[in-house]
Amino acid sequence: MSLNQQKEARPSPGLGIWAIALAALACLIQAVFIPAEAASRIKDLVDFEGIRENQLVGYGLVVGLNGTGDSLRNAPFTRQSLEAMLERLGVNTRDANLRTANVAAVMVTANLPPFATQGTRIDITVSALGDSDSLQGGTLLVTPLHGADGEVYAVGQGAVAIAGFSAEGDASSITRGVPTVGRISNGAIIEREIKFDLQQQRSLRLALRNPDLTTAKRVAVAINAFTSFPAARTLDPATIRLELPHAYKGDLVSLLMDIEQLRIEPDQTAKIVIDEQTGIIVMGRDVRVSTVAIAQGNLTVTITETPQVSQPEPFSERGRTVVVPRTQVSADDESDHKLAVVGGGVTLHELVNGLNALGIGPRDMISILQAVKAAGALQAEIETM
């Protein structure tokens, strides 16, 4: 076949190819202008549908405590559980007067990892439910762990390890940490698997951990540029639908392994987070302030009493000792704190430096930021915790 024939036989590029080329060009331009240190991996920004943990919970008994367990009179659920357990073991204690303090009722929690197989082990956390003083030295008896559907997915048992301790004497006591919460490493065995065939999926949703339209679009553009196929489509600020390209021949796992290492710069809204209780202020990098004048000052009145004692001269017959009051009053209106003008469009760094130059502490800074926001000069959202 001649060269002219080859040119005639070659199909003309369609709109889809041009769209892919433009997407690749946009991704290339984006990669050039984004600093490497500012970019994040897609796997750190999104959660893949179906790849998730599941929470498990169970109720059990911890035995072997050295007198630090539940008092059966104040914890009737512990008594009922103890009697029921002994009955299953062939011991009848229904009419007995149980006084043991070596047993504690506990709640057992765990997270079932995604795609965990039957027979593997997971860590569990044990928390006292009654009035137990400490779980130190205790052993958790066989405890079924249920999922949200009520099915048993794991069974836990083992010696409880606690990080805190408690000690007391006749007149004083000391406690470090929380001795009523412990952990058992590899303390539960998975008995049931959660069925989800990831390999057979032809499409998958990616959920942004911090929803944002710009970030979602950048993720979709990066994926499409990498696969040379319109595989990703933004559905909303939090969701991106991923279709399996033909080049991967039904291997969705390989596709996820490839795209999760792609790097993009996440975008975020301008936001200021304020914790009123602790005085903590966190500002995003995109916070901007229009031209505004700020003044801050307080009136402080100080009254000092320094009484003096007046005594008569020696051998005086009519004189007497008296107390003469001496009062000093001063007022400080902080006149050295002048009115400061913050220029329009200043950055976060310039805003913080300007407020620090006025000698403003975190508490006063919270009030100033709220006042600037009320004046319409702060282009950011204020969120109070």
Residue 175 domain-assigned (yes or no): yes
- If asked whether residues 174 and 222 sit together in one domain, one would say no
Same domain, 45 and 76: no
For residue 319, is it within any domain? no
The tokens 């331009």 sit on which residue? 29
Residue 76 belongs to some domain of the structure: yes
Domain match, 360 and 299 both: yes
Residue at 293 is within a domain: yes
pTM beyond 0.95: no
Q: Rounded distance, CA 194 to CA 358, Å?
A: 59
| Domains identified in the chain, total number | 3
378 lies in which domain range?
272-309+338-384
Domain co-membership, 154 together with 97: yes
Q: Decide which of 264, 286, 301 is a domain's last residue.
A: 264
- Same domain assignment for residues 352 and 278: yes
DSSP percent split of the chain into helix, strand, coil, nearest 5: 25, 35, 40
Residues 84, 162 within the same domain: yes
The answer to whether residues 229 and 292 belong to one domain is no
331 in a domain, yes or no? no
Q: Are residues 119 and 164 in the same domain?
A: yes
Residues 228 and 279 grouped into a single domain: no
DSSP secondary structure string for all residues of 59-92: EEEEE--SS-S--TTT-HHHHHHHHHHHHHTT--
Q: Could you tell me if residue 3 is inside a domain?
A: no
pLDDT in single tens digits along all 385 residues of the chain = 433 333 333 444 444 444 444 444 444 444 444 444 568 999 999 999 989 999 999 999 999 999 999 998 888 899 999 989 998 888 888 777 888 899 999 999 999 999 999 999 999 999 999 999 999 999 999 999 999 999 999 999 999 999 876 666 666 677 777 899 999 999 999 999 988 888 888 899 999 999 999 999 999 999 999 999 999 999 999 999 999 998 888 888 999 999 999 999 998 888 888 887 887 888 877 787 777 776 666 544 455 657 777 777 776 666 677 777 776 656 555 555 555 555 556 666 677 776 677 667 777 778 878 888 888 888 888 888 7
Residue 272: CB partners within 8 Å, gap ≥ 6? 281, 282, 283, 284, 287, 369, 378, 380, 381, 382, 383
In a domain, 342, yes or no: yes
Which of 208, 240, 264 corresponds to the end of one domain? 264
Same-domain status, 361 and 376? yes
Whether 324 is covered by a domain: the verdict is no
Residue finishing a domain among 190, 221, 246 = 190
376 and 303 inside one domain: yes
